[in-house]
Structure 1
Amino acid sequence: MCRLFAITSKEPLSPMVAVEALDVMREGHDGSGVGLFLRDLGGPFEEMKDAPILSGIFTESGLKRLDAFMMNLGFMTKYKLTIKVPKAPPPGVPKRDIYLIRAYEYPEEWDEMTETEKLRKLVHLRLTLRGMGEEKEDMIVFSLWPDAVMIKEIGDPMRVANHLKLDRKELKARIIMAQGRQNTNYAINLYACHPFFLEGFSTMTNGENTAFVPIKEYLSSRGFEGYTGYQSDSEVFTHILHYTLKNLGFGIEGYKHVITPLADEDLEAHPNAALLKALKHSCRRMIIDGPNCVIGSLTDHSLFMVQDRKKLRPGVVGGKPGTFAFSSEICGLDAAIPDRDKTKDFQPMYLDTAIVGPDRQEVRICRQTDPLPPLH
């Protein structure tokens, strides 16, 4: 199993908060990799919320190719954080040239585009850069999106964090998602490392999605180039979230009805029975098969946790007004928010979606038996 930790805070935090929580849960991951996703950024990125930020790993030649490609398109650097590491990495961590986090100014010709058009073109550009990197193995591009940073690496999370000096003052965020990986493959592909991200939606999963193939085939047939990649069977959870909220117009309450619909007899008694029957039928190829615990974040900076029917992967949420965390184990919560009221910790069951909104004041629980809010 992997271990998951996510925190949302009114004040920007260092990613080391999440890494330290993973470290106390290290018996649940084998140290084969770590993924970090930061959004609602602080530090120097605070003043450039609309600027697209590129995150990735580059060789010296790959960085030159990136610079030439982006300048040719008219992207100019607004701010960059270049992490050059010691030549001798710690045991288990690969030797790399450069970890790059760079905020760009949009090209002038993009000024006439709507915000929606700009963001959709960023998806295309990220995938183009990823393809370029895979062709020559000189760049790994994790994200290209405003107010978002993604860092992934092979190795023990704490060793990686210390190697990259992630406690630096320039790197802080109000939402941090982190996964301590347990390798289930013979070779590790960093694109298979959680969290995953698409157009403002992000998820990470502890579990196994044996329904991966039909879900992947269904999403790939939707005509959207962002539904691609799939180096991990868990990446589809992000794409189903995107599809449910962006294409179908549901809120987060509808996500659970897509991935784990109610049994037919329970649907009959639901206030939205007709709608949910139609949804179950039309989206049946996106029904998951677990066990899975999913933690995710939304475009409005909400965090959530859901479990599938098997409820065989641990998960707990707790905190205090201003700071809440989602964790695979209670010891992770204890490490990050020791002064919370522990009697209010909540472990979602298979009907529950636990949500902390952007105000960060409370944990809201919605159950699949509750009426759905109006569609967007």
Structure 2
Amino acid sequence: MCRLFALTSRDPVSPMLAIDALNVMKEGHDGSGVGLYLSGLGGPFEKLKECPILSGIFTEAGLNRVSEYMSARGFEADYSAMYTPEGMPPVGTPRRGTYAAMAYKMPPEWNALSKDERGQRLVQVRLDLRAEGEKTGDIMVFSFWPDTIMIKEVGDPLAIGEYLQLGREELYARHILAQGRQNTNYAINLYACHPFFIEGVGTMTNGENTAFIPIKEYLQSRGVTGYQGYQSDSEVFTHIAHFTTKKLGLDISAYKHIITPMNDDEMADHPDRELLSNLKKSCRKLIIDGPNCVIGCLDDGSMFMAQDRKKLRPGVVGGNPEIGMYAFSSEICGLNAAIPERDRSKDFQPMHLDTAIVRPDCREVVQCSQKDQLALQR
């Protein structure tokens, strides 16, 4: 198994808080890799909320090609956070080049586009650059979206955190997803490293998805830009969350009605029985088979945890509203390390019908049950 840790805070904090929590849970993961999703950025990026940020790993030639590509399409570079390690990499970590997060002003003609059209174009830019990089190996792109940075690497999470100096203030963020393990179901590939991301939605998963093939095929049939790649069977969880909130227009509390719908007996007296029955039928190919624990973050800064019906992957949520910080963790010890001063009696471990949500104000853990009336809009 791998281990997951997520942190949401009213004020920007260092990603190393999440890395340290993963290190506390080290007996539960193999130390083979780390992936980070950062949003609600602080530092220099806080003033660039509308600028999409291209994050990834690049050789010198790759950076030149990216610069040419972006310039030819009307993007103007605004600010860059780049780091090229000089020392020896940790054991098992390749020497790659420059780890970069580059913010761009969008082409002026994009101002006339709708929000959805701009989003699709940003996704297409990421896909184009990824495809270009896969030809030569000098460009790896993990995200291209406003207020978002993603970092992925092979190696022990703590050693990678120190190697890449992830405690730099320019990487401080209010919302952090961190997973400690490389992909082990398929070949080692940074594109298979959690978390995964599309259009403001990021998720990571502890478990395995044995229903991967039918889910992937259904998503690919939706005609949505970005429903592709799938180097990991867990990437579909991100796309299902995106489909639920962006395409179906539902609140994330409805996510479990898509991935783990109730049986007919459980729905018999539900106030939304007819709607839920129709959702179950129309989205039946998105039903997952576990065990899985999913932690994710939405573009509004809401963070959530949900599990499948088998409930065989641990997960706990807790925090302190006085300091404005909550954490989602695979183990209590990770939560204790990050937020030791909290009312532990209010820690919540979601069961098979539950979704735990912390909104960006970081005031409480909202506990949603599939038995509750459905939220029709976000």
Q: TM-score range by the shorter chain?
A: over 0.9
User: Match for residue 346 of structure 1?
Assistant: 348
Q: Where do 5+ consecutive residues of structure 1 fail to align?
A: none
Does residue 156 in structure 1 map to residue 156 in structure 2? yes
Equivalences for residues 22-37 of structure 1 within 5 A: 22-37=22-37
Amino acid of the residue matched to residue 357 of structure 2?
I
Equivalences for residues 68-147 of structure 1 within 5 A: 68-86=68-86, 88-147=88-147
Going from structure 1 to structure 2, the CA distance change for 1:248 and 1:115 (only over 3 Å counts) comes to closer
User: Match for residue 262 of structure 2?
Assistant: 262
Going from structure 1 to structure 2, the CA distance change for 1:73 and 1:183 (only over 3 Å counts) comes to closer
| 2:331 corresponds to which of 329, 332, 348 | 329
1:136 to partner: Cα distance: 1.2
1:16 to partner: Cα distance: 0.3
Deviation readout 1:78-120 (Å, 9 max, x if unpaired) = 0001111025212111111111110011122223223332222
SS in 1 for 2:18: helix
Equivalences for residues 164-183 of structure 1 within 5 A: 164-181=164-181, 183=183
Q: Where do 5+ consecutive residues of structure 2 fail to align?
A: none
Deviation readout 1:127-166 (Å, 9 max, x if unpaired) = 0000000111111100000000000000000111100011
Tell me if the contact between 1:212 and 1:236 (Cα under 8 Å) persists in the aligned partners: yes
1:183 to partner: Cα distance: 4.2
Amino acid of the residue matched to residue 358 of structure 1?
P
User: Match for residue 369 of structure 1?
Assistant: 371
Tell me if the contact between 2:55 and 2:151 (Cα under 8 Å) persists in the aligned partners: yes
What is the aligned length? 376
Deviation readout 1:282-336 (Å, 9 max, x if unpaired) = 1100000000000011121110100100000010000011110000000000110
User: Match for residue 296 of structure 2?
Assistant: 296
Structure 1 CA distance for aligned equivalents of residues 140 and 348 of structure 2: 37
User: Match for residue 283 of structure 2?
Assistant: 283
Structure 2 CA distance for aligned equivalents of residues 174 and 204 of structure 1: 17
Tell me if the contact between 2:260 and 2:308 (Cα under 8 Å) persists in the aligned partners: yes
Tell me if the contact between 1:29 and 1:182 (Cα under 8 Å) persists in the aligned partners: no
Tell me if the contact between 1:30 and 1:183 (Cα under 8 Å) persists in the aligned partners: no
Structure 2 CA distance for aligned equivalents of residues 32 and 97 of structure 1: 20
Amino acid of the residue matched to residue 128 of structure 2?
T
Amino acid of the residue matched to residue 178 of structure 2?
A
Deviation readout 1:208-263 (Å, 9 max, x if unpaired) = 10000000000000011210110000000010011111111211121100000001
Structure 2 CA distance for aligned equivalents of residues 375 and 167 of structure 1: 37
Amino acid of the residue matched to residue 129 of structure 1?
L
What is the identity percentage for the equivalent residue pairs of Structure 1 and Structure 2? 62
Amino acid of the residue matched to residue 325 of structure 1?
A
Tell me if the contact between 2:9 and 2:360 (Cα under 8 Å) persists in the aligned partners: no
Tell me if the contact between 2:120 and 2:225 (Cα under 8 Å) persists in the aligned partners: no
**The 10-residue stretch of structure 1 (37-46 or 263-272) with the greater mean CA deviation from structure 2:** 263-272
1:186 to partner: Cα distance: 5.8
1:75 to partner: Cα distance: 1.1
**The 10-residue stretch of structure 1 (281-290 or 166-175) with the greater mean CA deviation from structure 2:** 166-175
Structure 2 CA distance for aligned equivalents of residues 179 and 240 of structure 1: 19
Amino acid of the residue matched to residue 198 of structure 1?
I
Does residue 359 in structure 1 map to residue 361 in structure 2? yes
Does residue 203 in structure 1 map to residue 210 in structure 2? no
User: Match for residue 40 of structure 1?
Assistant: 40
Tell me if the contact between 1:87 and 1:95 (Cα under 8 Å) persists in the aligned partners: no
Structure 2 CA distance for aligned equivalents of residues 375 and 194 of structure 1: 28
Tell me if the contact between 1:85 and 1:96 (Cα under 8 Å) persists in the aligned partners: no
SS in 2 for 1:103: strand
Tell me if the contact between 2:179 and 2:204 (Cα under 8 Å) persists in the aligned partners: yes
Tell me if the contact between 1:34 and 1:157 (Cα under 8 Å) persists in the aligned partners: yes
**The 10-residue stretch of structure 1 (242-251 or 317-326) with the greater mean CA deviation from structure 2:** 242-251
Structure 2 CA distance for aligned equivalents of residues 186 and 107 of structure 1: 38
Equivalences for residues 54-65 of structure 1 within 5 A: 54-65=54-65
Tell me if the contact between 1:43 and 1:170 (Cα under 8 Å) persists in the aligned partners: yes
Going from structure 1 to structure 2, the CA distance change for 1:183 and 1:238 (only over 3 Å counts) comes to closer
User: Match for residue 228 of structure 1?
Assistant: 228
Amino acid of the residue matched to residue 368 of structure 1?
Q
Normalised by the size of structure 1, how large is the TM-score? 0.98
SS in 1 for 2:169: coil
Structure 2 CA distance for aligned equivalents of residues 356 and 65 of structure 1: 40
Tell me if the contact between 1:295 and 1:303 (Cα under 8 Å) persists in the aligned partners: yes
Structure 1 CA distance for aligned equivalents of residues 242 and 347 of structure 2: 28
Amino acid of the residue matched to residue 196 of structure 1?
F
